Structure 1
Amino acid sequence: MPKVISYTPAWLSKPNPGHEIFTSKVMSTQPASSNGSSASIKRSAKPGPRRTIARRGTEVFIAVGREIRWADLVYLKEAWEDKQSRNSFGKEKGGDGDNQYEGDHAQGYRTIKTQVAEDIRQLIISPHANYIAILTTHTVHVAILPEPSLLTAADTAPMKLKYYTLGPTTHVTSQWGIASALWHPLGVNGTCLVTVTEDAIVRLWELSIADRWSFDRPTLAIDLKKLADGTSVDQDFGASVHGTSKGFSPDSFEMEVASACFAGRGSGGWSPMTLWIAMREGDVYALCPLLPEKWSPPPTLIPSLSVSIVAKVAALEDEQGASPQSKLLAQQQLEWMSEIDNQEPLHSEGPPGEPPAEVYTRPGKPGRVPKLQGPFDLDLAPEESEDELDGLLSDICVIGPKMDADELMFGEEDDLELDEVDQEGLSVGIVCLLTTSGRLSVCLDLDGVEAQWLPKAKEKRLRFVEDSDPPSLLTFEVLDTSRGLEVWEGNWPVFSHDVNSRYSFYITNTSSVTFISLTPWVFRLETELNEATAGTDFRIGLLAQGQSSLRERLLTQNSNDKSTPLAASAVIRDPDLGYFLLTATSHGPIALTFEAPDIHFDLDRRSRSPTYDPEPDKPLIFFEPRPCYEPAHTLQQSSAMPTFIERQRHGKYKRLLQEEVRLSPATLTIITEAHKVISEETHRVGTAAAELFRRCEKLQLDLKNHIHKARDVATRIKAITSDDVEDGQSVIAANEKVEKRIHAARERQTELNNRIEDVRRKATRGSNRELSDKEKAWIDEVQTLDNKTDTKQAGGNALAKNSKEPWERFNEVKMLKEKLLAEINGMEGEDEVATPQNVKVPSEIRKAKMAQVMGLLDRESALVEAAKNRLERLSLS
């Protein structure tokens, strides 16, 4: 979660040029876009997205009325710092005329004149940052962006770019307004623009500077209302040349487009060529595959799709109960992929620094117009609210599934080099829906959107067969980002992508900016889906039931002032600017500087220079940052009474201004109109004065809080330096206190280590860990000895061995023992009976022989007992 360390810096505040480029020089009570007609005022007040800030690196393009301001934020910051340094060292240092930040040199910002007739509502820069699309409520212009070097040129006059009007007979004020304009992620060198109008018509424009006709007519136009009712791919789903009627109809009411988007170019599966459309009334549709005539895929897209399609066709052939619709879809995808495989891609030179792009031609079969998938069923969706604004969608954001490089390169020797960001995350897509009331719905696309086409006209048996299971999205989480007073009909929240993670974004509505991060549960859910161990259902249930996403409100404006909504946030991360969020109103910019996230470098892999000097550690921030107070813009506006009086002098009541005040209907009319003007001004001035009074009171409270914190810090410092000891008490040196704390910390660390070691031992005993090599060798040795000593197991093979086994030797010893005992007993009987009296054996000889025999018997008995005891020990073990 980003931590705000400062708000709008000084170089973006008054009276510096960084502040003026965000404001209009015309200060009047009437909107700058008004040309006197009520239709223009009505279109200007129409609710819709305000993406008036676009960036290219550290350069920003700001739409102010009908103009575009172009500035380099780093240049503005350095110019302000240079000015401050010259002022601090005296004026004599600033006398050098060669200073690049002097008034005679470049200022780091320019004004760009445009050809639009109304206020600019959106600015969208192409992927390679060489084109910019300029959108009003009904028109689209494409301009070629100049080089950044022009910012530092000596000429500071307003600049005129080369403009092209997109669809001069299509996107006009007499037709439906424009809901979204997107640069196709698979366009050749980022030159394919997709426009989606409010009447659900999608147009693809393949732009080329060499061909001006490419700006007049789209290469592909699809009417989603016709496509929703289509039954055959051979039908005509193109948009009407004369436009559609603006009268009421169920289709125009339910299929009024709120927003559309693509997933990232590096997403897996069919995501890069899937257009998601969010309807104002709450329906969500998908169009896949939506491709221009010439398209340039990333290196991994076609191989991954080819592997998945072939695997799907093989699985359906082996499956017995596969439906005809599934088999038809698989055959259509295989036919589509076969045509791509048969092509020989062309190589197109990209912008400087970019590798050449491989260009393919869009397959003609099964058809160039895909099937409209939807509306999607939202499973586990929240209950319908009584507030109508909870069901009106304003924006959609899709995060595609990650690219599975291991599955794609299975069996290959080479490793595939992918962006580390694309390899991390969830293997399923995430669809985020945002309503006018600020309600955010985070949905999971578990089934995954695949390419689909309508059947051909000759396939009558499948033409009218509806899918048994309509597409669905699983609602994972629902969050509220707006407060009660901030919800109104003109509110239009929008998404802004973060630069650190594709699973975090910012939501900007009329008066607030909120940070949302899905990272706490995305990686945990991916682990559970991949491992599928015991208890997975329970753990996934805990993830779904708990509030896992991070949500933090970063900025809150005055919700009562609805005439100055916030522009969609632009997030920048640069070494010179830091981690930076920029938004603006019509009265000036608003910036938030975040604490830079930790970046861990592999110190073993990178080599440092011998003269490497690490940056000093930044001081700790002990205070809570807060935005500086700026007086309300109402206090800077001039009164409208002089204009009112001047208008009355040329009106029909001009005679009354020169006469005495008399009670008459004409006088009452003038006083009533004057009261309206004065009452509105006094109300605005009173509100601004009340806000100033509240800020003064808050300043006193903040000052008391700062004094309390300073006193607390001083007390802690005195406690460390032993300056807080009263008279009569023993003085404890600071070193002794520190040593005691270190000793206590070491004892605590030793105790924790002992506890961890005890837990580790208990866990080792209770866990079935793998045996070591020595333990395996010991088991083999015991098993071999058991086989040798077990007569039942080794009886059949004992005779075939040359060497005698221990059990054979044991039996042989027993037989020898019995034989010797029998022989001894027989010899004793023969000596008594058959020995003649004249033959006398000396007693010493008999005793020696008996002692020898008994010694042999004792030895054999000891061997038998030892073998017996060893066998008993082996059997017990």
Structure 2
Amino acid sequence: MPKVLNYTPAWLSKPNPGHEIFVPSAKQSDSSSLLVGSNGKRNAKPGPRRTIAQRGTEVFIAVGKEIRWADLVYLKEAWEDKQQREKSSGKGKDTDSQYGDNHAQGYRTIKTTVADDIRQLIISPNANYLAILTTHTVHIAILPEPSHLTAPDTGPMKLKTYTLGPTTHVTSQSGIVSALWHPLGVNGTCLVTVTEDAVVRVWELSTADRWSFDRPTLAIDLKKLADGTSADQDFGASGSGMNKGFSPDSFEMEVASACFPARGSGGWSPMTLWIAMREGDVYALCPLLPEKFSPPPTLIPSLSVSIVAKIATIEDDPEVSQKSKLLAQQQLAWMSDIDMQEPVYIEASLGEPAAEVYNRPSKPGRIPKLQGPFDFDLAPEESEDELDSLLSDIYVIGPKVDGDELMLGEEDELELDDGDNDAGLSMGIVCLSASSGRVSICLDLDGVEAQWLPRSKSKTSRFIEDEDPPSLLTFQVLDTLRDGEVWDGNWPMFSLDYDSRYSFYITDTSSITFMSLTPWVFRLESELTEGTAGTDFRVELLAKGQNTIRERIYTQKADDRSSPLAASTLIRDPDLGCFLLTATPHGPISVSFEAPDFEYDLIRRSRSPTYDSEPDKPLTLYEPRPVYQPAHSFEESSALPSLLEKLRHSKYKRLLKEEVRLSPATLTIMTDAHKVLSEETHRIGTAAAELFRRCERLQIELRNQIQKANDVANRVEAITGTDFDDEEPAMTNNEVLEQRIQAAKDNQKKITERIERLKKLQSKGTNRELSDKEKAWIDEVALVESKITDKGEDAPEGNGKEPWSRYAEVMSLKEDLLEQAKELAVAEEPVASPNLKIPSEIRKAKIAQVMSLLDRETALVEGARSRLERLSMA
């Protein structure tokens, strides 16, 4: 869990430019007030609000129909420069400063051509395109370099934009729920849009070809595909004349969200589109590829190895179903088409190697099979609350890439894209969020693989009815909202963390929650790979225990539903630090975190020898809390003047100049005025009550801070010894502290010596039993001793002799041979048999042979004796 240091800083608060870029202008506020109904609330359909896009330290914020651009580093440094100048000269303006009004500014307003409020901003992987989404339309903006956005003129500017699908994504058609940049798109130029009516479209954008923005290269109607039985059927999206009548499919297959796993995931994950339906069903579409795609270096080799290994395993196995074998053959044909291609190398982004571009295989087909709906194993019982089953967002973490298995037998090492891939879970994780705040964490044990529908005349069509639906294992179910915070317009959204792909943030209407799966992901992977005794028990403990980190990091008033939070954006920069950024229609909200320890180490290593270290920060004795911001009700203009202006142009304008009389017309006017005034007075009264409560809370917190400071002062005085000395101290504070530290060291030394003495006494007085290893060592020593020394016991029966008996035999042979040698030496002189003569060469050879045998036996005896001596000494 990241440690929260503070909340929204001063340079993002009123009245600084960092706050103004997040709020609408006065003209926008007046125009938006005209859209408010008689009940004072917008009847907007709930949906995702991703109104903040990030490019390094730059942010793009959607405010109504406009986009605000800002460089956060510039805004922070400009505010710090202004504060420094005010302290030094007492004047807030200085034309000589680089942050003055006549110099380049770090914020701009970007005008768009959208007809409705912007709901989502999705930036491309290479940060050169920006997808601008309303409820029904999509616009693609070409982002310029930061130097072109930074200019002394802070007036509105226009970007070059293209309307995506001018006849497809229009107000008369279904709304758009997700727009995703395909992970395998060539230089991040492939966009996938998913509409509410379950239609997936793939757009391969190119500024050189304007037609690429008009028509998608692939359009799939998931409702048709779910009922499809043959690849020869037409699964394309219907035109503008499609039937809008009610059907069970249109109700059950209303899309809530869709997502791709990360580009560096293993297996088929980078080309798998996961779709979460509003009613709770989950589907997968694999492989979903554009006509030209650019895979990472590990994708094609890993898939090739897995497909070949799978075919070799199941080809001759009679227990494997015929459907599985035919599916493996389809995957082999798909991979063979890629292997036959020669990739085209194109220039990638700056600092990246050249990208390999492949064409989408034409066999078995370009439209994959729709897998699902998935069955949820071990799912909790159905709740009485309908919001528990209404899904709002989906986040899928792909399996890790097994680099060791992939590069088995290869000499060159392969560098992986992501750091988490080599240390993670070898299966996918599917996270689902519901409108009630419930988060379901599921494991994809089987893994989603590529599947296609068979041809109409193919023999695989007979196996379609026998297949089992895929399933997901529900690992944990957690709640992120309290009872009073749940309402039907809530739409929780996932936001990725910058530290690990196994941690994320969940942003709903009124709160932000941090969740991390790292406490159990790596433990589960070790249990599954090692497979030691007791694995089932330990895995069960992991599943039943609350191992997932869940921490609420920000909460605003739950009843203020007119100011929903936008999806959080995580930013990490040396100049800005680590913080989370979100926004409401009334201003930004940020939460700053403590930087990890390894970042401090990298900073220290990169510093120059002449760097002057910064002073240590003081110890924080308070808990961080959000700074109080006055309620926006105090700043809203009254709607009563607009009501009076409306009455002046109505049929009741005569009554405004006459005396008040009791009549139906007067009652109508008074009723309308009462509606406006009652709502405004209620908002102002609620805001004033909140201000009063904050003032009381401020007094309580001030007393607590004074009490904590007093406790710290008493502890310091107790350490220095100045709390009980009535007379003047005989020693200074330093001397008292040094004396106490020395006394503590001496006491520690005495305690250590005493512990060592107790350990020695305990080892002498304790007669503990010998371990199995010690008993085995004793038996081995006795066996060696019995083989070397003669204890007078009978020799054990066996084919060979013991070493000590062989030694005795060798000694006896030595004596006999010495005697024989002496006799031979004496017998050299011819005495009795003058005719018997032995050549001297033969005699010398025999004697040399005997002496070598004696030396060998002597060496064996000496070696056995030295080994026995070593064993006895040990």
TM-score normalised per structure 1: 0.86
Amino acid at match of 2:540: G
Residue 501 of structure 1: SS of its match in structure 2? coil
Amino acid at match of 1:512: S
Equivalent position of 2:425 in the other structure: 426
Alpha-carbon distance in structure 1 between the residues aligned to 2:296 and 2:103: 43
**2:101·2:152 contact (CA, 8 Å) conserved in 1?**
no
**2:326·2:460 contact (CA, 8 Å) conserved in 1?**
no
Q: Deviations over 1:798-839 (max 9, x none)?
A: 9xx9x9812536999999xxxxxxxxxxxxxxxxxxxxxxxx
CA spacing shift, 1:416–1:461, aligned 2, 3 Å: closer
Amino acid at match of 1:448: G
Equivalent position of 1:338 in the other structure: 336
Shift of 1:150: 2.2
Residue 520 of structure 2: SS of its match in structure 1? helix
Equivalent position of 2:737 in the other structure: 734
Q: Deviations over 1:407-435 (max 9, x none)?
A: 10111122112232322211111100000
Give the alignment of 1:714-793 within 5 angstroms.
714-725=713-724, 727=726, 733-745=736-748, 785=788
Shift of 1:573: 0.5
Give the alignment of 1:687-726 within 5 angstroms.
687-725=686-724
**1:22·1:586 contact (CA, 8 Å) conserved in 2?**
yes
Check if 1:111 corresponds to 2:109: yes
Residue 85 of structure 1: SS of its match in structure 2? helix
**1:457·1:463 contact (CA, 8 Å) conserved in 2?**
no
Stretches of structure 1 lacking an aligned partner (at least 5 in a row): 816-866
Residue 420 of structure 2: SS of its match in structure 1? helix
Shift of 1:320: 2.0
**2:140·2:161 contact (CA, 8 Å) conserved in 1?**
yes
Give the alignment of 1:129-208 within 5 angstroms.
129-208=127-206
Alpha-carbon distance in structure 2 between the residues aligned to 1:45 and 1:748: 72
Equivalent position of 1:211 in the other structure: 209
Equivalent position of 1:228 in the other structure: 226
CA spacing shift, 1:750–1:341, aligned 2, 3 Å: farther
**1:231·1:464 contact (CA, 8 Å) conserved in 2?**
no
CA spacing shift, 1:182–1:619, aligned 2, 3 Å: same
**1:437·1:487 contact (CA, 8 Å) conserved in 2?**
yes
CA spacing shift, 1:136–1:106, aligned 2, 3 Å: same
Q: Deviations over 1:771-810 (max 9, x none)?
A: 99xx999999779749999955775589xx9x98125369
Alpha-carbon distance in structure 2 between the residues aligned to 1:401 and 1:720: 55
**2:260·2:269 contact (CA, 8 Å) conserved in 1?**
yes
Equivalent position of 1:597 in the other structure: 596
Amino acid at match of 2:809: E
Shift of 1:699: 0.7
CA spacing shift, 1:307–1:678, aligned 2, 3 Å: same
Equivalent position of 2:681 in the other structure: 682
Tell me which moved more, 570-579 or 624-633.
624-633
Equivalent position of 2:580 in the other structure: 581
Q: Deviations over 1:60-83 (max 9, x none)?
A: 000000000000000000000011
Alpha-carbon distance in structure 2 between the residues aligned to 1:191 and 1:279: 26
Alpha-carbon distance in structure 2 between the residues aligned to 1:261 and 1:702: 44
**2:515·2:549 contact (CA, 8 Å) conserved in 1?**
yes
Residue 673 of structure 1: SS of its match in structure 2? helix
**2:230·2:461 contact (CA, 8 Å) conserved in 1?**
no
Alpha-carbon distance in structure 1 between the residues aligned to 2:284 and 2:144: 36
**2:24·2:63 contact (CA, 8 Å) conserved in 1?**
yes
**2:53·2:569 contact (CA, 8 Å) conserved in 1?**
yes
**2:173·2:240 contact (CA, 8 Å) conserved in 1?**
no
Alpha-carbon distance in structure 2 between the residues aligned to 1:676 and 1:765: 90
Stretches of structure 2 lacking an aligned partner (at least 5 in a row): 817-863
CA spacing shift, 1:90–1:10, aligned 2, 3 Å: same
Equivalent position of 1:859 in the other structure: none
Check if 1:328 corresponds to 2:326: yes
Alpha-carbon distance in structure 2 between the residues aligned to 1:541 and 1:752: 42
CA spacing shift, 1:787–1:111, aligned 2, 3 Å: farther
Check if 1:492 corresponds to 2:491: yes
Q: Deviations over 1:499-537 (max 9, x none)?
A: 111111110000101111111111111111111111111
Equivalent position of 1:855 in the other structure: none
Equivalent position of 2:823 in the other structure: none
Amino acid at match of 1:597: P
Alpha-carbon distance in structure 2 between the residues aligned to 1:479 and 1:249: 33
Shift of 1:456: 1.8
Equivalent position of 1:509 in the other structure: 508
Alpha-carbon distance in structure 1 between the residues aligned to 2:9 and 2:69: 19
Q: Deviations over 1:332-369 (max 9, x none)?
A: 11111111111100011122222210000000001111
Residue 415 of structure 1: SS of its match in structure 2? coil
Q: Deviations over 1:450-507 (max 9, x none)?
A: 1111122222463453344321111111110111222111110100001111111110
Alpha-carbon distance in structure 2 between the residues aligned to 1:748 and 1:441: 53
CA spacing shift, 1:246–1:593, aligned 2, 3 Å: same
**1:293·1:362 contact (CA, 8 Å) conserved in 2?**
yes
CA spacing shift, 1:635–1:317, aligned 2, 3 Å: same
Q: Percent identity?
A: 68
CA spacing shift, 1:742–1:627, aligned 2, 3 Å: farther
Equivalent position of 1:10 in the other structure: 10
**1:61·1:70 contact (CA, 8 Å) conserved in 2?**
yes
Alpha-carbon distance in structure 1 between the residues aligned to 2:284 and 2:758: 56
The alignment of Structure 1 onto Structure 2 pairs a total of residues equal to 814
Equivalent position of 2:809 in the other structure: 808
CA spacing shift, 1:354–1:653, aligned 2, 3 Å: same
Amino acid at match of 1:3: K
Amino acid at match of 1:396: I
CA spacing shift, 1:299–1:663, aligned 2, 3 Å: same
Q: Deviations over 1:517-568 (max 9, x none)?
A: 1111111111111111111111111111100011111111111111110000
Residue 357 of structure 2: SS of its match in structure 1? strand
Residue 515 of structure 2: SS of its match in structure 1? strand
CA spacing shift, 1:793–1:699, aligned 2, 3 Å: same
Equivalent position of 1:630 in the other structure: 629
**1:33·1:119 contact (CA, 8 Å) conserved in 2?**
no
Equivalent position of 1:849 in the other structure: none
Alpha-carbon distance in structure 1 between the residues aligned to 2:125 and 2:759: 53
Alpha-carbon distance in structure 1 between the residues aligned to 2:375 and 2:767: 50
Tell me which moved more, 523-532 or 394-403.
523-532
Alpha-carbon distance in structure 2 between the residues aligned to 1:223 and 1:353: 39
Alpha-carbon distance in structure 2 between the residues aligned to 1:762 and 1:292: 76
CA spacing shift, 1:536–1:745, aligned 2, 3 Å: farther
